[in-house]
Amino acid sequence: MNYFHYKDSELWCEEVPVSMIARDVGTPLYLYSYRTIERHFNVFDEAFAPVPHIICFSVKANSNIAILSMLAGMGGGVDIVSGGELYRALLAGVNPGKIVYSGVGKRVDEIRYAIESDILMFNVESEQELEVINACAGELRRKARISLRVNPDVDPMTHPHISTGLKENKFGIDINKSRYQYRRARELEHLDIVGVDCHIGSQITEMSPFLDALDRLTNLIRCLRKDGIDIRYLDLGGGLGITYKEETPPHPTEYAEEIIRRTKDIDCTLVFEPGRVVIGNAGILVSEVLYTKVSSEKHFVIVDAGMNDLIRPSLYGSYHAIQPVVEKSDDHFDADIVGPICESGDYLARKRTIPRFERGDLLAVMSAGAYGFTMASNYNSRPRVAEVLVKDDRYYVIRRRETYGDIVKGEAIPSFFAGVNG
């Protein structure tokens, strides 16, 4: 359910025609619907209302400070994976007591920053990281709250690049060794062990991988309590999938019901780190058709957005629906929708039956709210695009389009070049 809809053959976001925003702001642009984000967050949050819980939105899915601020205002926390994401979250007004910090490669400066910010907990991914966090906390004369991110070795049945909870993945600590690791952690005096965590992958469309992981985690919690280690937080990570095409992921209420049932007697605050399910279908990428051409019987629609703006199709072969901003006649053709980047892998859709787009037409790449802008780059020295948030009948530019000046910001020509080039 989202608030992108057609009215009089035109695509609208809430109560604003998309073509109007494109005209005012230019293309390409990311467009988000406030009411859709709000709804998705609330559905998830309300599904867990019967139990103590914290919803820590995954910043890497969409890190715009307006979005983070909005979610913070609704009572959300965040899951971060870097110092930069912590900076954004604090700037957006997220309560540090609702920030969890995941990631296999936390640097000392990032760890210090997080301890000084008094975040809820670190999700620790290795034995060495435990020791480094302990040392940092000692130097700062603080205690760092930690949970171990365990790798429960379950197959999330998703794309290999976005599965993280299998033995062969780099993430987390082998669940079979984790009980021993917890005992080791207990000996480190500047650590306060508070939780158990896992995150098994992304775009998961079945319930069973979550439940298998959950069962392993609840067993571990019981074992740890026998060892005298009190666990107060059970963090099940993110990963709930969305519909890009024909997927039928569990609804958040179904997801919540099953989880609540299995955690009845565990007496923990549940923590979730959803990203995609909150923001994925709340955003689109709007692009203009630059050219069309036919080469050896293949049609190409060349648009002004490329893989630097939305890399998911190139990186994962992901499917994003392509829709006209102004509906066209029923005349369709099969085409590749490609960007301007000098790479053969630069495409938004391949072999797609789409309306017969022409130069100047606007199209919408749907379900682009998650891992869209956050994965954008300046490759080919293309300014990163504008981000716009619509609420009801108004729109707000929440990130202006970059300028050419922004692209070279921070670069410097060594002064001795002057003689050489002059």
Contacts of ligand PLP in 159-218 (CB under 6 A)? 199, 202
The verdict on 58 binding ligand PLP (CB under 6 A) reads yes
Minimum distance of ligand PLP from residue 100's CB (angstroms): 8
CB nearer to ligand PLP: pick between 140 and 211: 211
Minimum distance of ligand PLP from residue 375's CB (angstroms): 11
The verdict on 79 binding ligand PLP (CB under 6 A) reads yes
CB nearer to ligand PLP: pick between 249 and 324: 249
Q: How far apart are the C-alpha atoms of 349 and 336, rounded to whole Å? A: 6
Minimum distance of ligand PLP from residue 81's CB (angstroms): 6
CB nearer to ligand PLP: pick between 156 and 324: 156
CB nearer to ligand PLP: pick between 202 and 367: 202
Contacts of ligand PLP in 221-250 (CB under 6 A)? 237-240
Minimum distance of ligand PLP from residue 126's CB (angstroms): 14
Q: How far apart are the C-alpha atoms of 129 and 355, rounded to whole Å? A: 53
Contacts of ligand PLP in 355-384 (CB under 6 A)? 370
Of 54-62, 207-215, 224-232, 320-328: span binding ligand PLP (CB under 6 A)? 54-62
Estimate the crossing angle of helix 83-91 against helix 108-116, to 10 degrees. Answer: 30
Minimum distance of ligand PLP from residue 57's CB (angstroms): 9
List the one residue from 172, 209, 275, 369 that touches ligand PLP (CB under 6 A).
275
Q: Are 233 and 196 in contact (CB under 8 A)?
A: yes
The verdict on 148 binding ligand PLP (CB under 6 A) reads no
Of 55-63, 128-136, 293-301, 413-421: span binding ligand PLP (CB under 6 A)? 55-63
List the one residue from 25, 54, 59, 61 that touches ligand PLP (CB under 6 A).
61
Contacts of ligand PLP in 255-274 (CB under 6 A)? 273-274
List the one residue from 88, 145, 276, 299 that touches ligand PLP (CB under 6 A).
276
Contacts of ligand PLP in 290-319 (CB under 6 A)? none
Catalytic residues: 342
Q: With CB under 6 A, what is the number of residues at the site for ligand PLP?
A: 17
Task: Label each residue of the chain as H, E or C.
Answer: CCCEEEECCEEEECCEEHHHHHHHHCCCEEEEEHHHHHHHHHHHHHHCCCCCEEEEEEHHHCCCHHHHHHHHHCCCEEEECCHHHHHHHHHCCCCHHHEEECCCCCCHHHHHHHHHCCCCEEEECCHHHHHHHHHHHHHCCCCEEEEEEEECCCCCCCCHHHECCCCCCCCCEEHHHHHHHHHHHHCCCCEEEEEEECCCECCECCCHHHHHHHHHHHHHHHHHHHCCCCCCEEECCCCECCCCCCCCCCCHHHHHHHHHHHCCCCCCEEEECCCHHHHHHHEEEEEEEEEEEEECCEEEEEECCCCCCCCHHHHHCCCCCEEECECCCCCEEEEEEECCCCCCCCEEEEEEEEECCCCCCEEEECCCCCCCHHHCCCHHHCCCCEEEEEECCEEEEEECCCCHHHHHCCCCCCCCHHHHHC
Contacts of ligand PLP in 328-357 (CB under 6 A)? none
Q: Which of 398, 368, 406, 385 is nearest to 288 (CA)?
A: 385
CB nearer to ligand PLP: pick between 235 and 304: 235
Minimum distance of ligand PLP from residue 38's CB (angstroms): 18
List the one residue from 102, 163, 287, 318 that touches ligand PLP (CB under 6 A).
102
Minimum distance of ligand PLP from residue 79's CB (angstroms): 5
Which residues would be at the binding site for ligand PLP (CB under 6 A)? 58, 60-61, 79, 102, 199, 202, 237-240, 273-277, 370
